């Protein structure tokens, strides 16, 4: 499922990043946001959410949350 | 000897750079503050070895050979051959930092790791086996605290020791990553596995980072979709009421008192022996003009102190978060907030920081519009008009900032309409740094640095402008002294009068005000300086003392404009093009004359149109009839709006984009 549909405070494993934006995919990779990594939604504000990836907090938007498959 | 500083964004590179070199570069507790590289020499008290040069490179998470910004580090190392690389690592985020570290280790230059934010490690109950880590990476690790300036001597000693030694890579992939992108990606995957295995061995965390903490609780309030913006407004209003309405003016009163004493002292010193022209030049041109601006110094310093506290606390990254959905609606993203916030200090670094925006159209749009945020130089202008016409009301400053933001939104819509919606699905991701109690010391340093720049500018470029203005208003074209009562024959008046004509519809068609607006393009503080010179007012803050100089405390009557016209004049000065230096920065970042001229035209028209509506509608409300020059102004505004509509229509018809043109 896409991350935007995932539950809060549950640690998921990323399955895939589905985007045609290769540069963004590479950038996410360097942050540790890629298949096999753990991700947790900390807060969900609707249009934005705060996630934990690789021991750091990030704010991501809905579009990106839809591109992350968990 | 040369040392390069490299590391992730917000790992503390610039703080370490400042600590090592004694510089006062801008530091923010959020990623992306450093865009260009900076160089400096190590402070003498830190090392017995002379001439250690430090280069602060922009922060990056990775060194991909396939993206421009990430290539900076690699290109620098390959072209400039630093003797040692200091890799600064956020100790509380080992797993992400080490990914970049393993890439640095394969460049062949000796690496020394500076393990920063050590205090957080203890607080978060993280245990790191340093001996093990150092052995596995094959490079020394030094614990430092860039904030408290701990461990710096040891760090430098270690660097000196490592100079000339070789560096073995800690990780070697099985593919030839230089071959193509697939091979490189394959190698990066192996690297990621290598790093996570390494971290598993050396790091023990007693608190799971996936669990909620107090920072998350604060975020749930300040980043809330409904409460976020009202909280931001309240915070900004608080900052303005302290800096512009209470503490700032209180301190300014003292300063202005001293400037007045100095004025009287010099006047006394010159006596009657000195020619009236020279007397006017020194007293009104130099002391009066510069003093009028320097009088605002306390207001500016208090403001920058408070903005620095805000930035240091980690709050600004949250502002980017709450603004992102709104910015996205107009074709920008939360990324555009960084340049906008930096522009509140000075538009030039603000415009430069647009480089961190990936999308080309977003980047150009932000570079074009970010200078609408009122910068430090515009503050004296705001403070002057707020003080003289609105009794120091804090809402004036707050309103000007929000107006700046609204114009940026509006401008972004217009630019998108003109160019068509060309950007791909744009994603927003930004690291949220942890909140921390802001350091008064750092805020103090930021304040002193800003204050120093302000004073330097006041006694150089502004002093020069004031002298010029004084001379130009004293002489007529045939170099005769202008007689009292015939001020309109001066050089200054004759240059400014034609311009004043088109300013009539805005409520300030006086040559003095037109002259001040023109000098404002050299530096915005000049608006205040020139007004001081042309009206012979030495201070705009202590209004009781003014009576002595001008015979009245009503600056409004000296200037001869209404309160509504004053607001229009303020808006005109704030939202027309910024100073020449900022336009130069815009030229460099836009890399296109078409965009540059578009930007200048848009800004000129914007300032004029806003001032027109404020004056005409405001006058209608306060007096029951429109102000003068209604038709002329309407025609000018019509031309401006007409050209925007034409450009949008042209795009609608041809669907051709200007992007990249």
Q: What is the pLDDT of residues B418-472, one digit of tens each?
A: 887 665 567 888 889 889 889 898 889 888 988 888 899 888 888 998 888 888 9
Residues B368 and B405 both lie in one domain? yes
Q: Are residues B179 and B249 in the same domain?
A: no
Interface test with A, best of B427, B428, B432 (most A CBs within 10 A): B427
Interchain contact A13–B (C-beta under 8 A)? no
Does residue B564 sit within a domain? yes
Residue B658's pLDDT band (cuts 50, 70, 90): very low
Answer yes or no: do B201 and B237 share one domain.
no
Burial of residue B405, with CB atoms counted within 10 A of its CB: 0-12 exposed, 13-18 middle, 19 or more buried: middle
Q: What percent of chain B has pLDDT above 90?
A: 27
In sequence order, the 6+-apart residues with CB closer than 8 A to the CB of B502 are: B632, B636
pLDDT band at B551, cuts 50/70/90? very low
Task: Judge: A61–B328 Cβ closer than 8 Å, yes or no.
Answer: yes
Residue B522 tokens, joined:
């050299």
List the CATH number of the domain containing B94: 3.40.50.300
Q: Which of A14, A16, A25, A29 to mutate to test the interface with B (most CBs of B within 10 A)?
A: A29
Instruction: Give residue for tokens 């073995």.
Output: B168
Q: Where are the alpha helices (DSSP H) in B213-314?
A: 214-222, 228-240, 247-270, 276-280, 289-294, 297-312
Give the strands of the sheet with B141-143, arranged side by side.
Answer: B38-41, B53-56, B2-7, B84-90, B111-116, B141-143
Is B33 within a domain? yes
Distance from the Cα of A55 to chain B's closest Cα (Å) equals 5
Average pLDDT over residues B25-35: 65
Give residues with Cβ within 8 angstroms of B52, minimum separation 6. Answer: B1, B2, B3, B41, B42, B156, B159, B160
Given a contact cutoff of 8 angstroms between Cβ atoms, the answer to whether B455 and B377 are in contact is no
Same domain, B166 and B235: no
| Residue A63 contacts B where some CB pair is shorter than 8 Å | yes
- The string of DSSP codes covering B229-248 is HHHHHHHHHHHHIIIIIIHH
What is the Cα–Cα distance from B92 to B111, expressed in whole angstroms?
Answer: 20
Q: Is residue B223 part of a domain?
A: no
CA distance A32 to A26: 10
Do B300 and B433 share a domain, yes or no? yes
Nearest CA of chain B to the CA of A67: how many Å?
Answer: 9
Within 8 A of B185 by CB-CB distance, chain A residues are 26, 29
Judged by a CB distance cut-off of 8 A, whether residue A3 touches chain B is: no
Q: Does A24 touch chain B (CB under 8 A)?
A: yes
Q: Who among B216, B317, B431 is closest to A42 (CB)?
A: B216
Which pLDDT band, with edges at 50, 70 and 90, does B538 fall under?
A: low
Question: Do the domain assignments include residue B553?
Answer: yes
- The pTM (predicted TM-score) of the whole model is 0.82
| Domains held by chain B: number | 2
- Examine the domain organization and report whether B38 and B182 are in the same domain: yes
Q: Determine the angle formed by the axes of helices B593-623 and B360-369, rounding to 10 degrees.
A: 50
B577-624 confidence digits (pLDDT tens) = 998 889 998 998 898 899 999 999 999 999 999 999 999 999 999 988
Instruction: Answer with the one of B161, B190, B205 that is the final residue of a domain.
Output: B205
Based on the fold, state whether residues B197 and B267 are members of the same structural domain: no
B188 and A23 within 8 Å at the Cβ level: the answer is no
Query: Could you say which of A23, A46, A58 has the minimum Cβ distance to residue B358?
Result: A23
Q: Classify domain A3-69 at the CATH topology level.
A: SH3 type barrels. (2.30.30)
B374 plus B483 within the same structural domain: yes
Which residue matches tokens 């600056």?
B555
Q: Are residues B335 and B292 in the same domain?
A: yes
Residue B165 pLDDT > 80? yes
- Would you tell me which residues 51-80 of chain B have a C-beta closer than 8 angstroms to some C-beta of chain A? 61-62, 64, 66-67, 70
**CB contact (8 A) between residue A63 and residue B225:** no
Write the pLDDT tens digit of every residue in B134-154.
999 999 999 998 888 889 999
Domain membership flag for residue B555: yes
| B349 and B479 assigned to the same domain | yes
Residues of A in contact with B321 (CB under 8 A): 48, 50, 59
- All residues of chain B having their beta carbon less than 8 Å from the beta carbon of residue A34 are 189, 192
User: For residue B147, what are the domain limits?
Assistant: 2-205
Tell me, yes or no, whether B244 and B368 share the same domain: yes
Write out pLDDT tens, residues A18-47.
988 888 888 888 888 998 889 999 999 888
pLDDT at position A41 is 94
Closest CA to B377 of B262, B246, B521, B487: B521
Q: Which residue has the higher pLDDT, B524 or B654?
A: B524
Residue B250 and residue B180 share a domain: no
């Amino acid at each position: 499922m896409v991350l935007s549909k995932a539950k809060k405070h549950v640690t998921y494993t990323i399955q895939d990043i589905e985007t045609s934006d290769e540069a963004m995919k590479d950038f996410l990779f360097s942050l540790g946001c890629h298949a096999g990594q753990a991700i947790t939604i900390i807060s969900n504000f609707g249009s934005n959410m705060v996630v934990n990836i690789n021991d750091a907090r990030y704010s991501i938007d809905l579009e990106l949350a839809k591109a992350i498959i968990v | 000897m040369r040392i390069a500083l490299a590391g992730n964004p917000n790992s503390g590179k610039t703080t370490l750079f400042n600590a090592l070199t004694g510089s006062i570069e801008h530091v923010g507790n959020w990623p992306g503050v450093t865009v260009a590289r900076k160089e400096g020499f190590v402070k003498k008290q830190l090392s017995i070895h002379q001439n250690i040069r430090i280069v602060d490179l922009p922060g990056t998470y990775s060194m991909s050979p396939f993206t421009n910004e990430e290539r900076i580090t690699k290109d620098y190392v390959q072209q400039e051959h630093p003797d040692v690389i200091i890799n600064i690592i956020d100790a509380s985020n080992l797993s992400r930092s080490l990914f970049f570290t393993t890439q640095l280790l394969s460049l062949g230059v000796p690496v020394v790791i500076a393990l920063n934010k050590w205090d957080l490690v203890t607080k978060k109950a993280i245990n790191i086996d340093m001996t093990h880590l150092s052995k596995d990476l094959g490079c020394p690790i030094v614990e430092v605290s860039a904030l408290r300036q701990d461990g710096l001597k040891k760090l430098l000693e270690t660097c000196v020791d490592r100079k000339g030694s070789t560096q073995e890579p800690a990780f070697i992939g099985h593919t030839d990553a230089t071959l193509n992108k697939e091979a490189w990606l394959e190698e990066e995957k192996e690297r990621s596995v290598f790093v996570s295995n390494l971290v598993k061995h050396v790091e023990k965390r007693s608190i799971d980072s996936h669990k909620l903490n107090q920072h998350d609780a604060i975020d749930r309030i300040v980043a809330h979709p409904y409460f976020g913006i009202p909280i931001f407004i309240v915070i900004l209003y608080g900052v303005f009421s302290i800096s512009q309405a209470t503490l700032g003016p209180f301190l300014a009163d003292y300063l202005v008192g001293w400037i007045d004493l100095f004025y009287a002292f010099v006047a006394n010193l010159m006596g009657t022996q000195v020619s009236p022209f020279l007397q006017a030049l020194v007293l009104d041109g130099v002391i009066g003009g510069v003093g009028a601006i320097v009088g605002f110094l306390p207001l500016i310093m208090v403001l920058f102190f408070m903005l620095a506290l805000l930035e240091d606390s980690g709050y600004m990254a949250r502002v980017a978060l709450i603004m992102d959905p709104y910015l996205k609606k107009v074709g920008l993203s939360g990324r555009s907030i960084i340049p906008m916030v930096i522009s509140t200090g000075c538009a030039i670094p603000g415009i430069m920081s647009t480089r961190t925006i990936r999308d080309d159209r977003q980047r150009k749009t932000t570079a074009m519009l970010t200078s609408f945020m009122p910068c430090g130089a515009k503050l004296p202008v705001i403070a002057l008009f707020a003080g003289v016409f609105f009794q120091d009301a804090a809402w004036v400053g707050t309103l000007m900032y929000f107006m700046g933001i609204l114009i940026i939104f509006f401008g972004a819509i217009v630019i998108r309409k003109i160019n068509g919606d060309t950007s791909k699905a744009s994603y927003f991701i930004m690291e949220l740094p942890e909140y921390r109690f802001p350091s008064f010391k750092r805020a103090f340093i930021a304040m002193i640095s800003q204050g120093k720049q302000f004073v330097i500018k006041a006694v150089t470029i502004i002093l020069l402008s004031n002298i010029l203005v004084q001379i130009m208003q004293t002489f007529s074209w045939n170099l005769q002294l202008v007689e009292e009562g015939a001020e309109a024959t001066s050089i200054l008046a004759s240059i400014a009068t034609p311009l004043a004509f088109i300013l009539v519809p805005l409520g300030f068609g006086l040559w003095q005000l037109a002259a001040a607006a023109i000098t404002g393009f050299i530096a915005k503080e000049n608006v205040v300086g020139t007004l001081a010179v042309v009206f012979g007012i030495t201070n705009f803050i202590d209004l009781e003392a003014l009576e002595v100089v001008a015979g009245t405390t009503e600056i409004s009557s000296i200037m001869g404009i209404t309160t509504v016209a004053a607001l229009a004049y303020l808006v005109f000065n704030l939202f027309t093009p910024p100073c020449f230096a900022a336009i130069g920065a815009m030229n460099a970042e836009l890399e296109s004359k078409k965009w540059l001229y578009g930007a200048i035209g848009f800004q000129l028209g914007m300032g004029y149109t806003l001032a027109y509506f404020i004056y005409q509608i405001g006058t209608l409300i306060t007096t029951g009839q429109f102000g003068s020059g209604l038709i002329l102004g309407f025609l000018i505004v019509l031309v401006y709006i007409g050209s925007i509509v034409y450009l949008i229509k042209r795009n609608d018809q041809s669907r051709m984009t200007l992007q990249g043109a």
